[in-house]
Structure formats: structure tokens, C-alpha cells
């Protein structure tokens, strides 16, 4: 309708000067006319120019007076033609706001005598305010004075009206040609008669319904790439269930250590114990716990096999490292660089930064004669690839490393040193019972995957990152991960 009217009008006329007037003349909805104008313009059937006009619309109060009359007239009519009415009586006859505004306006107009008694001062009044409001409501022009007084009384507010003036465009035709948009069989058969719609290379494609990587997976990939660039091999971490032996005992962690309590560790009910352990190695581990050896005094307690047999959800990926080092010790020695990134479990109270499960990133290097200097050097290399080049180390304690160091990095954004990981050199009490040569040293470090991910993606509650409360939309919209650039 609107399209025919516009194209038809332009066939015989130079231009449409005002889309608003045009709509009114042809009895068309202006919004519809605007939509058609935009569409015709996009195909260059027409050229357009914006028109902006300030118009006035009635406020709710204005609409009310336009329908019911101004308060001053309502008040005037409530006063008897002859005699007077008490102010109280008059108040009862009118709505509170009408009474209040009516009194002041009718007083100002000198229509009524206001005292304890109210009486008319003139015979007849004209409701100019209502008249002016109706005029605006109907879209007619009003004079400056009435606009100003209605504006001051907050009965009208300005509104920007947008319309267009329209002329023929370079592709003008009295009727829009249907263009083919699809390469269907039929369209290809009579392509000579058809006009095809041009490709719009600027258009956004429809969003693809596809799988999306979780932020943790994206950051994990970056860490993996760094390890691989540094020549590390990935350790097999595909067992969440581990025996206490590999998780703790092999790491020279005494059986009465608080981390081995059920308050800190999840133990399995079924199967509650492991089936097999390498017996001769178990014997050496028992001995080093009880009475030491290899230059150590041990812990001096009765080591219990039942405690070592207990199955648990691994509390750190260092359990995997201990298995790998033991396996390495069973063959002629070759130096190795290993890493792993996988899930671990701890019986923790859940809060903004802790869950009962998280991911650990772990790296280790095993070679003859390594020193603490090597560990510091490797850590500097590793973390500088993550964009963290200001590092500091603080002496710490782990049952399985000596010396041990916490790793701190200067966070430019936070303006302070933040702890980013833990590291150390595995103790001889751990390595020698495995059967590794005496001069072999192992340097190792670990950190969580969640912490850097939360920093990189600006997430401050771990429950927004992992678990059933995660917003899937967020995962779809997360940008690719770039670290260390
Ligand atoms: N396993 C340690 C932890 O759970 C991390 C670590 C790994 C520390 C290797 C030292 C050496 O925090």
C-alpha cells in the first residue's frame, strides 16, 4: 500500500516534501511509510533526506484536562452562579489536585473571590487551556504563548518527530522488481530473465549452532602449547581415583598428615582399597617412612599398609608424577620433562574462590645434577611465556619437596604481588626408594588452571566458571584465549 503510494506519487511529482503530511493525505500509518522508505532507499529506488521537527505531546495531566476541562474551570463551575459556597464545601466537591490547582489559577485569573466563602467574580469563563490542549492533541499549530504556558504547567512535553523528504533515486521504477535471492533449480533454468540480488558482503552471517569451548579448555590449550614448545611430554592423568599410596605415601607424606584426613580428602566407599601395589617398592617406602635411610631419619612411626591401600579421589596431580617417576626408575635412566593438566579433588567448603574440585597444572624435569638455580630459571622461562616476567620466590614447605618455594608474580592490574604457584625439588626420601640414580634430581611446580582463567576472563566467582550455575551463553560468547603476548 505505502510502497505503491510512494512510487506512484513520484511518477508524477518531483518529490514528497514531508513523509508526515504525505501519510496524513493518503491515510497511511507514518511508521509503515518510514519502513517502506528505508527499504526503497536501500535499493536506491529513492533518495531521501531526514526531517526533524520538534513537536509537543500532552503529559498524562494534560490529557486529563483535555478530556475533563482545566482545574480552574472545574472549580469555577463548582461555585454557584449566585451567592457563595464555603471553602470546605467546595473542597469536598473536587478532587484534591483539581481543588488545589483550581484555587490558584482561578484566583490568578480573578474569576472567583477567595476567602472563607468563595463566590464568582465574573459571569462567564472560557476554558482556553482545554482548547489549547485539544489543538496540540490534534497536531495543529499553536502560538508561542500558549506553548510556553502549557510547558510551564507541565501539561505538554517536547518530542522529536522524525520524517523524510523523498525524491526519485538512481534505480527508480514505478514498481519494485522482484529480485531472485536463491540459486534454486528453477532460478538457474531461467536465469536470463531474472535479476539476481547482489551479494551483501557486509551482512553478518546467521549465527552458527555449533559446539563452544569452555574458557577452562581454551586456557588449558594455551598452557599445553607452552609446555609442548618447551619440550615437555604429557603424563597420562586419566584416573581420578588413586590409592593413598601413590597420592601420599610414595611422596613421603606421613600417614598422620592432616591432608590425609577425611576432612580434607574424599575417600572411596566402593572399591575402598586398591588391588595391587609394587610390593618391593612398598617395602622401601614403608622403611623410609618408619626409619629413614638414604641419609634421612624418617618419621619414626608405625607405617600401616591399610592406610596406604585406601582409595581416594586424587588430591593433586603429583600422584601421577610419582607413578611416572617410579616407572622411569624401572628402566635405564633417561632425562625427562613431563607435564599434566587435569582435575583434582579436595574436601573443601565451597565459596567464591573454592570448589571441591579444580584443575592443576604441573610440570617436572628429571635429570642428573639439577639445582635450585635450574628450577628458578625454568620457572622464569615458563611464566614469562604467560606474560609474567616479574617473579619472586618465598621459602615454603611441602612434605615431598626440599627446598620448596611459593611463586609470586607482580600483577600490574592489581598493583601487588600475587601467589601463582608452588614448587620445589623432590626429596631424596621420595626419589631414592623408587630406584632413581643418586645424582638424579627432580624439579617440579604446580598451579591451578582456574585462577589464571578467572583473571584472564574477568570472572570473580568460581561458580560462574565451573558447575551447574554456569551461564551457557557466556561460554558461547567468550573470546578466544591469548596469553603471553
Ligand atoms: N602438589 C602441589 C599442590 O598440590 C603442587 C606442587 C607440585 C608443589 C610439584 C611442588 C612440586 O599444591
Among 401, 400, 420, residue whose Cα is nearest residue 410 = 420
Q: Using the 8-state DSSP alphabet, how is residue 251 labeled?
A: G
pLDDT at 458: 81
pLDDT of 485 > 60? The answer is no
Distance in angstroms (rounded) separating the CA atoms of residues 117 and 140: 40
Mean pLDDT lowest among 175-189, 390-404, 471-485: 471-485
Give the position, in ligand 1's atom list, of the atom nearest the Cα of 404.
10
pLDDT at 478: 83
Predicted confidence (pLDDT) per residue in 348-379, tens digit: 888 888 899 999 999 999 999 999 999 999 99
Give the position, in ligand 1's atom list, of the atom nearest the Cα of 317.
1
Query: How many Å lie between the centroid of ligand 1 and the Cα of residue 291?
Result: 25
Predicted confidence (pLDDT) per residue in 36-95, tens digit: 999 999 989 999 999 998 888 999 999 999 999 999 999 999 999 888 899 888 999 999
pLDDT of 213 > 60? The answer is yes
Distance in angstroms (rounded) separating the CA atoms of residues 255 and 252: 9
Among 184, 209, 211, residue whose Cα is nearest residue 196 = 184
Cβ-based neighbours of 122, under 8 Å, separated by 6 or more: 110, 111
Distance in angstroms (rounded) separating the CA atoms of residues 382 and 227: 8
Give the position, in ligand 1's atom list, of the atom nearest the Cα of 321.
9
Q: Using the 8-state DSSP alphabet, how is residue 438 labeled?
A: T
Please compute the mean of the pLDDT values over residues 162-184 and round it to a whole number. 90
CB atoms within 10 A of CB 174: 11
pLDDT at 187: 92
Predicted confidence (pLDDT) per residue in 235-294, tens digit: 999 999 999 999 999 999 999 999 999 889 999 999 999 999 999 999 999 999 999 999
Query: How many Å lie between the centroid of ligand 1 and the Cα of residue 58?
Result: 71
**Pocket lined around ligand 1, Cβ cut-off 6 Å:** 316, 318, 362, 398, 401, 422-424, 444-446
pLDDT at 474: 84
Atom 6 of ligand 1, nearest CA residue:
446
450 and 358 Cβ atoms separated by less than 8 Å: yes
Query: How many Å lie between the centroid of ligand 1 and the Cα of residue 159?
Result: 66
Report the alpha-carbon angle 343-348-354, nearest 5. 65
Query: How many Å lie between the centroid of ligand 1 and the Cα of residue 424?
Result: 8
pLDDT confidence tier of residue 484, bands split at 50, 70 and 90? low
Distance in angstroms (rounded) separating the CA atoms of residues 209 and 204: 15
Q: Using the 8-state DSSP alphabet, how is residue 26 labeled?
A: T
Query: How many Å lie between the centroid of ligand 1 and the Cα of residue 423?
Result: 6
Amino acid at each position: 500500500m505505502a510502497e505503491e503510494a510512494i512510487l506512484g506519487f513520484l511518477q508524477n511529482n518531483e518529490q514528497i516534501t514531508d513523509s508526515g503530511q504525505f501519510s496524513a493525505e493518503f491515510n497511511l500509518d507514518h511508521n509503515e511509510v518510514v519502513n517502506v522508505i528505508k527499504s526503497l532507499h536501500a535499493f536506491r529506488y529513492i533518495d531521501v533526506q531526514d526531517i526533524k521537527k520538534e513537536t509537543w505531546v500532552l503529559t498524562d495531566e494534560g490529557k486529563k484536562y483535555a478530556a475533563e476541562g482545566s482545574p480552574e474551570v472545574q472549580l469555577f463551575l463548582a461555585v454557584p452562579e449566585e451567592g457563595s459556597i464555603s471553602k470546605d464545601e467546595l473542597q469536598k466537591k473536587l478532587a484534591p489536585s483539581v481543588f488545589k490547582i483550581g484555587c490558584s489559577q482561578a484566583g490568578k485569573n480573578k474569576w472567583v473571590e477567595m476567602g472563607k466563602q468563595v463566590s464568582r467574580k465574573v459571569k462567564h469563563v472560557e476554558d482556553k487551556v482545554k482548547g489549547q490542549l485539544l489543538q496540540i492533541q490534534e497536531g495543529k499549530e499553536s502560538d508561542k504563548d500558549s506553548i510556553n504556558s502549557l510547558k510551564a504547567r507541565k501539561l505538554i512535553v517536547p518530542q522529536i518527530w522524525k520524517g523524510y523528504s523523498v525524491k526519485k533515486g538512481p534505480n527508480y521504477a514505478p514498481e519494485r522488481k522482484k529480485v531472485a535471492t536463491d540459486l534454486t533449480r528453477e532460478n538457474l533454468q531461467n536465469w536470463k530473465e531474472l535479476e539476481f540480488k547482489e551479494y551483501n558482503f557486509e551482512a553478518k552471517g546467521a549465527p552458527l549452532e555449533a559446539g563452544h569451548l569452555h574458557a577452562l579448555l581454551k586456557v588449558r590449550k594455551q598452557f599445553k602449547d607452552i609446555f609442548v614448545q618447551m619440550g615437555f611430554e604429557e603424563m597420562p592423568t586419566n584416573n581420578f581415583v588413586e590409592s593413598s599410596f601413590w597420592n601420599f605415601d610414595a611422596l613421603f607424606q606421613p600417614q598422620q598428615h592432616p591432608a590425609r584426613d577425611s576432612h580434607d580428602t574424599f575417600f572411596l566407599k566402593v572399591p575402598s582399597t586398591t588391588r595391587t601395589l609394587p610390593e618391593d617398592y612398598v617395602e622401601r617406602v614403608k622403611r623410609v617412612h618408619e626409619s629413614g635411610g638414604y641419609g634421612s631419619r624418617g618419621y619414626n612411626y608405625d607405617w600401616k599398609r591399610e592406610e596406604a591401600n585406601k582409595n581416594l579421589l586424587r588430591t593433586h596431580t603429583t600422584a601421577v608424577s610419582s607413578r611416572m617417576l617410579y616407572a622411569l626408575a624401572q628402566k635405564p635412566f633417561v632425562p625427562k620433562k613431563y607435564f599434566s593438566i587435569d582435575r583434582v579433588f579436595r574436601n573443601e567448603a565451597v565459596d567464591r574462590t573454592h570448589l571441591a574440585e579444580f584443575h592443576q597444572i604441573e610440570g617436572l624435569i628429571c635429570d642428573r645434577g639439577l639445582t635450585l638455580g635450574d628450577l628458578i630459571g625454568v620457572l622464569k622461562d615458563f611464566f614469562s611465556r604467560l606474560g609474567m616476567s616479574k617473579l619472586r620466590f618465598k621459602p615454603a614447605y611441602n612434605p615431598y619437596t626440599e627446598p620448596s618455594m611459593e611463586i609470586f608474580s607482580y600483577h600490574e592490574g592489581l598493583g601487588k604481588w600475587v601467589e601463582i604457584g608452588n614448587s620445589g625439588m623432590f626429596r631424596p626420601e621420595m626419589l631414592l626408594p623408587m630406584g632413581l640414580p643418586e645424582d638424579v634430581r627432580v624439579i617440579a611446580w604446580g598451579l591451578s588452571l582456574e585462577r589464571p582463567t578467572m583473571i584472564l576472563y574477568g570472572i570473580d566467582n568460581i561458580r560462574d566458571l565451573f558447575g551447574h550455575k554456569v551461564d551457557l551463553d557466556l561460554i558461547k560468547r567468550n573470546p578466544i584465549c591469548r596469553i603471553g603476548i
